[in-house]
Amino acid sequence: MESFVLGMNLACAGMGLRQSYAWMWVLLPDAFPLLRFLFLKDRGNRFQVVLLPQKDSMQQEYLVVYEQKGDKADLALITCDVNATVAGLFTTNVVAAAPVIYCKNILKSAHTARAILINAGQANAATGDAGYQDVIECAQSVSQLLQLRPEAVLILSTGVIGQRIRKEALLNSLPSLVSSVSPSIEGADSAAVAITTTDLVSKSISIEAEVGGVRLKVGGMAKGSGMIHPNMATMLSVVTTDALVTTKCWREMVRLSVNRSFNQISVDGDTSTNDSIIALASGLAGVNKISSLLSTEALQLQACLDVVMEGLAKSIAWDGEGATCLLEVIVSGANNEAEAARIARTVASSSLVKAAVYGRDPNWGRIACAVGYAGIEFDPSELHISLGHIRLMHNGQPLPFDRVAASNYLKQAGDSHGTVEINVSVGHGNGISKAWGCDLSYDYIKINAEYTT
């Protein structure tokens, strides 16, 4: 998340430093309809892909950090200079973590927030009253150091279920963490790395666009690699903007974008106890307050929010534990978007489809099977399936195709950690949607056999 979102400051610290790995990552999204060209800039030890649209109406940046081997911070703090309009969506898992319960309780009455503290390593889930009191104490300590009301501070955690926050170490780290917050790019990058656990890469995106005649920014960071399955929001994420939006509009915008992005990804079918997304809108860009979802400004901001959240969601699926490629499922011809989304999610979540992709097996039968059990009525004689540009099924009947070419398509995607595209059409309706997942490899079993969650 680029900290050039006005009024947002970030920092990281270590309460018990963890080992990190060396990596370098560049994720190129699908071409935007307005994109004219792209280029790669080298900013020292970090690489940045900048996508420039026609008429410069939107700039999209995918930031990539190169982390040297060594110790890794496990605390991140995001602060805002003003009371920011806040929206939050959380896991549907009944065994919700203490910080999830705390944030949900706060947001029942609070419409703004000023700070978000995130720790990695201990999920603080299934920890009872003691775990909840830990959250309260951490929020109070942050609020005292920042001279804020306790309810202006939100807490997120990720890590091992059943482990409470290492409270003493965390509290001892807070003074240095608070003193180091800054609006720098380095602060934003460091915070994105600090919240990771089994992730191989950090995930952060920022865009700049003109909304209501004013240039504003939307940025976000996320973590997630395993225990990822659609059911809100399947990871941790913080999204910020300097737009000015009413609470009602902002919360509905965030809900819509989450449904189109984070709720459309699946790595392993498990919904975490800690899934959370918090979105802050500072209002410092100077744009007129957005109070109607039907206004031109609202539609423009919604498009920006969709871009950021979709990019973060895809990066989580791309970084799925043990994955060798991103799986993108595009469904069209459904009666409406919701039906298309359900079919796409079902295919992207299918273990058999994911295993076939890893085995470089163009098994259209598994795809057709998943479409059929998605719970959506359609005429099987209108089912069409293609793998990339290779047509596998037409009007519900298998087509002759070059299996070697189809297998090579899957192999090339796996060898380059690229994207496998599955296109499905189920009729002639206007419903279109996408979902994302990854292949299912031997390494997924190895990682989760050796790592306690």
Choose the catalytic residue: 112, 198, 234, 346.
234
**Is there a binding annotation on residue 346?**
no
**Is there a binding annotation on residue 453?**
yes
Alpha-carbon distance of 365 to 355, in angstroms, equals 13
> Burial of 213 by CB count in 10 Å (0-12 exposed, 13-18 middle, 19+ buried)?
exposed
Residue with tokens 């398509």: 409
Measured at the alpha carbon of residue 9, what is the angle toward residues 164 and 77, in degrees to the nearest 5? 5
CB 420 within 8 A of CB 325: yes
Q: What letter represents residue 283's amino acid?
A: G
Neighbours of 438 (CB within 10 A): 30
Helix orientation angle between 128-146 and 167-179, rounded to the nearest 10 degrees: 20
**Would you list the DSSP string of 94-144?**
SS--HHHHHHHHHHTT--EEEEEEEEEEE---S-HHHHHHHHHHHHHHHHH
Q: For 197, how many CA atoms within 13 A lie in the half-sphere containing its CB?
A: 26
Told to judge if 234 belongs to the known catalytic residues of this protein, a careful annotator would answer: yes
Q: Number of helices and strands (H, E) in the chain?
A: 11, 19
CB 232 within 8 A of CB 90: yes
**Is there a binding annotation on residue 296?**
no
The residue among 197, 215, 265 whose CA lies nearest residue 453 is: 197
Q: Tell me, what DSSP letter sits at residue 44?
A: T
From first CA to last CA, the distance across the chain in angstroms is 26
**Is there a binding annotation on residue 247?**
no
Measured at the alpha carbon of residue 380, what is the angle toward residues 375 and 386, in degrees to the nearest 5? 95
**Is there a binding annotation on residue 223?**
yes
CB 59 within 8 A of CB 52: yes
Q: What residues are labeled active site? A: 234
What residues are designated binding site? Answer: 197, 223, 234, 321, 448, 453
**Residue numbering of the annotated binding site for substrate:** 197, 223, 234, 321, 448, 453
